[in-house]
Amino acid sequence: MPRGKPRGGNYSGNPRGGKRKRPQRNSKKSVNDSSSSDQTSFLDKRKCTKVNNNTQSYLCSNENNSSSSFNQNFPMNNSNQQYTGPMASSPIGYQPFQTYQQYPPPPPPPPLAHVTPRPNIQGIERTLQEMCQRMANIETKLTTLDKIESRLNKMETKFGSMDNEIIDCKKRISTLEQSAQFLSNAHDDLKGLKLKVDTINSGVELTKNENKEVRDKLVDIESQNLKQNLVFFELEEASENNEGAKGGATGEKGGATGSTYMKTV
C-alpha cells in the first residue's frame, strides 16, 4: 500500500490512515505556563525590590517560589519533547517505521539569573547606630542608678547617725525631766518653809508689840507710884517705896532681857 505525505499534517505511520495527534500543543502550553510563571516571578522581583529594606526575606521567598515553579515545569517540557521524536511502530506491526514531519522544538527559556540580594549597608548602619544609641542611653541610666544608690547609702548612714543622736537626746531629756521633777519638789518644799517662816515672823511681830505695850504700862505704873509716895506717905514708907522701885527696875531689866530674847528667836 503506497504511503505518502498528507497535505497539511504530520503522518505518523498509522496503517488505518488516521492522523496522529500533535503532542506539541501540550509542550507549547507548558512552555507558555513556564513563561507566564517566569514573568510573574520577574514582576514579583520588581515589586519586591521596591519594598523597604526590612522586607528582604519576602523577596527571597518569592525568588525561591519562582525557581521551584520553573523547575517543576521544566521536566514536564522535557517529557513532552520526548513524544515529538521518532515513535516506535504501531502495535499492528505490518510495516516498517515511517518518519513524519517534525516541528522545531520551542526555544528553551533563558535561565534565571540567581539574583543575590545586596546587603543593605545603610540599613545595617542605621540599626548599628540605633543599637549604639540605646547602649549609650542604658549606660547613662546605669550611671544615674549608681548615683542614686550612692545617695541612698549616704542617706542611710545619715539616718543611722540621726537615730543614735535621737537616742542620746531621749536619754538627756529623761535626765532633764528627773532633774525638773526634783526641782519642782524642792520648790514645793521651799514654799512650805516660806509659809512657816512667814507665820513665825508674824508671831515675832505680835510679841514685840505686846512687849512694847507692857513696857508702857510699867512706866505709867511707876510714875503713879512715885507721885503717891511723895504726897501721901511718910519717909519710912518712902524708903520702902524706893526698895519697891528697885524691884520694879529689876522687873524692867527682866522685860528688856525678854525682849532681847524674842529678838534673837
Amino acid at 91: P
Query: Looking at the domain assignment, is residue 233 inside a domain?
Result: yes
Do 172 and 258 reside in the same domain of the chain? Answer: yes
Query: Looking at the domain assignment, is residue 195 inside a domain?
Result: yes
Query: Looking at the domain assignment, is residue 136 inside a domain?
Result: no
Query: Looking at the domain assignment, is residue 126 inside a domain?
Result: no
Do 72 and 166 reside in the same domain of the chain? Answer: no
Q: Compute the average pLDDT of residues 155-172.
A: 93
The span from the CA of 158 to the CA of 211, in Å, is 77
- Give the model confidence (pLDDT) of 74-131 as tens digits: 444 444 444 444 444 444 444 444 555 566 777 777 766 666 666 678 888 889 999 9
Amino acid at 169: C
Residue in this structure with the C-alpha cell 519586591, named with its chain if needed: 48
The burial of 133, by beta-carbon neighbours within 10 Å (0-12 exposed, 13-18 middle, 19 or more buried), is given as exposed
Report DSSP state, residue 53.
Answer: G
Do 107 and 184 reside in the same domain of the chain? Answer: no
CA distances from 50 to 47, 59, 173, 234 (A): 5, 10, 84, 171
Do 174 and 253 reside in the same domain of the chain? Answer: yes
- Give the model confidence (pLDDT) of 140-159 as tens digits: 999 999 999 999 999 999 99
Do 110 and 40 reside in the same domain of the chain? Answer: yes
Question: How many domains, in total, are found in the chain?
Answer: 2
Domain span at residue 36 reads: 24-85+95-115
CA distances from 39 to 110, 123, 147 (A): 12, 29, 64
Query: Who's near 49: CB < 8 A, 6+ residues apart?
Result: 59
Global pTM reads: 0.30
Query: Who's near 20: CB < 8 A, 6+ residues apart?
Result: 10, 11, 12, 13, 14, 87, 100
Query: Who's near 4: CB < 8 A, 6+ residues apart?
Result: 11
- Tell whether the model's pLDDT for residue 197 goes beyond 60: yes
Query: Looking at the domain assignment, is residue 211 inside a domain?
Result: yes
Query: Looking at the domain assignment, is residue 124 inside a domain?
Result: no
Query: Looking at the domain assignment, is residue 45 inside a domain?
Result: yes
Reported as a pLDDT band with limits 50, 70 and 90, residue 253 is very low
Query: Looking at the domain assignment, is residue 2 inside a domain?
Result: no
